[in-house]
Structures are given as C-alpha cells and as structure tokens.
Amino acid sequence: MKKIIIINGPNLNLLGKREIDIYGKTTLTEIQKLSINKANELNIDLKFYQSNSESEIIELIHKVQTDFDGLIINPAAWTHTSVAILDALNAISQPKIEIHLSNIYNREEFRKKSITSNGVNGIICGFGSLSYILAIEAMNSLLDN
C-alpha cells in the first residue's frame, strides 16, 4: 500500500472561519475527511497533519525520507518566505506536490512568488478543497510511474 502524507502550514486550522471569501467555508477537518475518503478509494495510506510551527513542519518533511512514498504540502504563508522548508523539500527524494486553496498567482503581489515550489514536482492551486483531491490523484499517478 502506498503511504503519503499531507502537511498543512500555519493558520490552516482556521479554515472555515477566516477570510471565507478567499478560502471558503470548508474547514480543515472537512478537507481531512475528503482527503482520507479519496485516499481509501485509491488504496493509499494517508496521514494528515497541520502545524503552526515551522520547525514541526520541517521535522515532518524529514520523516518523509524514511516513512512515506510521497508528500503533499500546503505550506500556506511559508510558501513565500521559508528557505528552510525549501531546503527540507530538496533534501528528500520522494515525489512532492505543493497545493493551495486559492490561486496564489491571482492574489497580492507578494503571494505570487512561491519559494517552496522550487522543491516540488508540481503545484496545484486555486481549486479550494478540490486542490487536495487533485493532488492525491496526481500523487497516485506519480507513484504508479
């Protein structure tokens, strides 16, 4: 069975309560349930995490090398600022997909630059909670090839 991890960055625990016009009404718990259902459908063992701590996110990325076949990450605000997360992504060899609920290229100027995308195979953004489902399907295909 394929093992993948979804790591969510800062403030995503507030989904459904913050900036609903940008991020929608779906909570992270609801996204987790949708993600687990899709993973089960594809016979994937999925772990789902969220942290507001950059160091915890980096530690989780390090575990991918030994514990998982692939990584899906929504680095949230660290997308635009974290060289440390980029370095952690570059340190692992498994397939990696970056996701975002909103279209970061259709937002404020500072959000249009993704530092972390330099360390992943591809990026999916702008589809709300569907971004997670699309990423799971894409990861499944990457791992099959």
More confident residue, 131 or 14: 131
The tokens of 112 are what?
């249009």
Say which of 23, 49, 80, 132 is annotated catalytic: 23
Say which of 80, 100, 105, 132 is annotated catalytic: 100
For residue 62, what pLDDT is reported?
98
82-124 pLDDT, tens digit per residue, is 999 999 999 999 999 999 998 888 877 777 789 999 999 999 9
What order of strands is seen across the sheet that includes strand 2-8? 44-50, 2-8, 70-74, 96-100, 122-125
Mean pLDDT of the 38-47 span: 98
Q: Does residue 23 carry a catalytic annotation?
A: yes
Q: Does residue 62 carry a catalytic annotation?
A: no
Q: What percent of the chain has pLDDT over 70?
A: 98
For residue 107, the enclosing domain spans 2-144
Tally of domains within the chain? 1
Look up the CATH number of the domain holding residue 33: 3.40.50.9100
117-129 pLDDT, tens digit per residue, is 999 999 999 999 9
For residue 93, what pLDDT is reported?
96
62-71 pLDDT, tens digit per residue, is 999 999 999 9
